[in-house]
Every structure is written in structure tokens, then in C-alpha cells.
A and B are shown apart, each in its own frame.
Chain A
Amino acid sequence: MDEPTVILKARGFIRSFETLSFPVPVESYVEKVNATLRYETDLPKGEAGYSVPIAGKWHIVVNIKDHPERQRFTICHEVAHLHLGLSSEHAGKSDTQSYTKRPQKEIFCDVFAAETLLPSDLFKPLVDEAVIGFKSLTALAGDFQASLTATGSRFAALNQWPCAFVLAERGIIRYASRSLSLKEMSAWIPIGYRVPPSSVAAKGCNLTEEGSQTVDPAEWFEDWNRGGTLLEEARYLTEWDRTISLLWFEDKEFFTRQSEGYDEDSDPVCRELDGDLPWPSKKRRR
């Protein structure tokens, strides 16, 4: 099994529901895999939930002390275990809270969970219309009853705009999700390194809920020499000692021009005629 297969299986799973609207009915997902759902008060923090076969039926047990959004992701994650037929890997230390050393099967279940909690068909049209920033992210997370982290990851991955979502734990980059256009420009965010010192994320626990700031793309992206105006907005998640950042280039056309070989430096006054009017501006507001 690989990630594209998991995504296809998740989409097939979603298609098996005749109608689906957001927030998606995760309880129906549980019924679909012929399991029951139980909320447990006795699970410690960090143990989000599990599924267990008892008397011939699977039971999904969820930590009731978690935030409702996390509970919904956990349910989708457990549904993934059952639908994909993936067992858990019990070797090594417990690692649910950490993005490091996550077993491949658990990653597959997370991918499935994200795909079913924030289905592309429902989520992407809203992403396409959204102004990039945490205001949109928070609204979408509320609409889909998903965490900011899950929503941010999908928001970047499905975005047409060159943007990325980055998660850092204790200042170290653990996870990054990039839009297709950013991938095509080889904007690589190195995992396992400290967030750039001049980034918004570097403020860590001192972060306030302020708007976006201009940051140096060469600090965020490995071997970056293409220039561009990069904006960053970040939030600090106290509970997990994490920062989540949204990064996006101010000018979407900047990339189009570069990839088409247009060199603005050689002709700073007159842009090559292409039939497209330069107004209204395609710049995203800060």
C-alpha cells in the first residue's frame, strides 16, 4: 500500500455515501465499517482512542477529554484502520503526540482521516474562494469541525495559490504540507530543522494573533534563489507546544512568469503582451 492508494480508497469510501455535507457525519463512517462508537473517560491525555474487537464486533473507543475536533479526527483514523485492514505497530515508544518516528501504517490512517474528514469535493471549492490566512482557516475548521492543524494541512495541499502549512514542535519543523504550485517550483521545506530565526513561527510562545508579515523565502525554502514576496502568519498551540504557520507568496503570477521563462529584469518597463490585463491586481491582501 502507498499514499495515493490510501487517498483513492478514502475517496471511494466517501463516494459510498449518497449525499455528504459538512461537517461530515463521522458516526455514519463508523456504521459503514460495522463498528460501534464509545466515548471513554478513563483514557489519559495523549491517548486519543483505539479500536478493539470484542465478541466478533469492532468497537471504536475515543478519549472524551480530547477536543471535539480531535475526537472526530480520531474516529476517522480508527475507521481507516478498519476500512484499510491495517493493524497497529506496537514496537517502540508511544508516539501519537509526536510527528517523529510515526509508523507508516499510522501515517496512512492519518491520510485517510484527513481525506474523509475534509473531503476534497466539499473542501476544495471553499479553499479556492478563501483569502489565505488564519481567519479563513479558522472559519473552515469551524465549518468542518476539524482541528486547525488538519484543516491547515489540507488547506495548503489543495490550494491553487503557492502556499504551505508548516507545523513545528518546540521550534523544530516536523511537518509541512505544500500546494502543487509550490511543489512545482521546488520550494522545499527541510524537516527536522529549527524554524528560521526571522520567521513569525520563531516567536513561539510569544506569538500574538497578528496578521501576516513579510519573511525571507530563502530562509524557509531550501536552496531558494527565485526571490518573491513571501508572507507568513502563525499561531502558537499552547497545549502541544507547537507553532503552525501559513506561508504564501503574495503574487501568484510571479510563479507563472518565472515558469514561462519571462524575465522581468530584462524589460522592466514593458511587460510582454499576452492579452491579460494587469488589473485588477491578482495580489492577495495581507
Chain B
Amino acid sequence: MPIGFGDFLQRLRDERKLSFRELGQLSEVDHAYIHRLETGEKEAPSEDVVNRLIRVLKPDERKARILRFLVSKTVDEDLIAEVLDDPRVSIDDFESAAQVRSRGRPSGREGWRRVLRQIRTIREQLERG
């Protein structure tokens, strides 16, 4: 199932146990707009809005990068789960995996684990020249 910006924003807000109104007040972003972002009614918030939300939600750097990435793309929930559960997966590799165009796409977490492994191998080969 694809995860978008709104889904991930909701996840971060839940982790902070903040209501729409509280997040809105603290970030100085209209709470109704935040609600619409989470429901997907509104998409692609500005960089300024994203920065203000991140300042209040205080996600770690990985989650902050994932949230920023999701501004323009949706990502399979299994890939996000894999990246969040395994801190060895770099966000660069996550971003590559999220843009995979496949004939027979990876399915399930094992499928994404394999893709991430392959991406890491290719990246290492490229770095070695």
C-alpha cells in the first residue's frame, strides 16, 4: 500500500501525541490545512510549511528526510517499514529504492530488502570506480 506525505505526517504527529490544533498553534500552520494534508485532500505543501512542521514534530534526521521525500512521491509502506526498522539502510538508498521502476515490482519486505541490498551493491561498485 502506498504511503504519502499525509500518512507519514499523521504518523509523526501521533508519535508526538499532538492534536491538529496543537500542531497548528505550535507550527503556525492552519490546523485545517494540516488536517487536509493528512487526509490527502491537499498535497505538495511548500518547503516553508514542511520546515515549520518538522521544527515542531522533531523527527530524527532519517524520518525528516523521508517526510521531505514524500512531498512529491508516494512510497510503498513495506519499503518505509524496512527503512525505519533497519538503521543500516541509508536514506540515499531508500530514495533510490522508492523510485524503482520495475517489470514485476518487489513485493513484501523481503522484496524491498533484496532491492535495497542490490542498490547498496551497485552504489559500492560505483564508489569503487
Contacts and interface: CB of A to CB of B under 8 A. Distances in A.
A54 B103 contact: no
Interface in A57-116: 59, 61, 74, 77-78, 81-82, 86-88, 90-91, 93-94, 96-97, 106, 109
B114 interface: yes
Contacts of B1: 91
Contact of A93 (B100, B107, B126): B107
A38 B114 CA distance: 15
Interface stretch (B7-15, B31-39, B43-51, B117-125): B117-125
B104 A52 contact: no
Given A46-B104, A49-B104, A54-B122, A90 B99 contact: no
Contacts of A199: none
B102 A88 contact: yes
A251 B128 CA distance: 64
Interface in A104-159: 106, 109
Say which size band chain B's interface belongs to: 20 to 34
Nearest to A49: B103
B102 A50 contact: yes
A74 B1 CA distance: 25
A48 B122 contact: no
A53 interface: yes
A90 B103 contact: no
Interface in B48-81: 74-76
Contacts of B103: 47-50, 74, 77-78, 96, 106, 109
B40 interface: no
A40 interface: yes
A78 B103 CA distance: 7
B101 interface: yes
A49 B103 CA distance: 5
A94 B119 contact: no
B115 interface: yes
Pick the most buried of A49, A50, A97: most chain B CB atoms within 10 A of its CB.
Answer: A50
A228 to B, nearest CB: 38
A90 B76 CA distance: 6
Interface residues of A, number: 32
Nearest to A63: B104
A270 interface: no
Contact of A52 (B2, B96, B111): B96
B105 interface: yes
A276 interface: no
A143 B74 CA distance: 41
A88 B123 contact: no
Contact of A94 (B96, B97, B105, B117): B105
Of listed A47, A51, A87, residue having the most chain B CB within 10 A:
A47
A51 B101 contact: yes
Contact of B102 (A47, A55, A97): A47
B100 A52 contact: yes
B2 A91 contact: yes
A49 to B, nearest CB: 5
B96 A54 contact: yes
A96 B2 contact: no
Contact of A50 (B2, B76, B105, B107): B105
Given A53-B99, A82-B101, 16 more contacts: A40-B118, A42-B117, A47-B103, A48-B104, A49-B104, A50-B101, A50-B105, A52-B122, A54-B122, A74-B103, A77-B103, A87-B101, A88-B100, A88-B101, A90-B74, A94-B106
17 contacts: A38-B122, A42-B114, A42-B117, A47-B104, A47-B106, A47-B111, A49-B102, A49-B104, A50-B102, A51-B102, A52-B97, A52-B99, A88-B102, A90-B74, A91-B1, A91-B2, A93-B107
Interface of A: 38, 40, 42-43, 46-55, 59, 61, 74, 77-78, 81-82, 86-88, 90-91, 93-94, 96-97, 106, 109
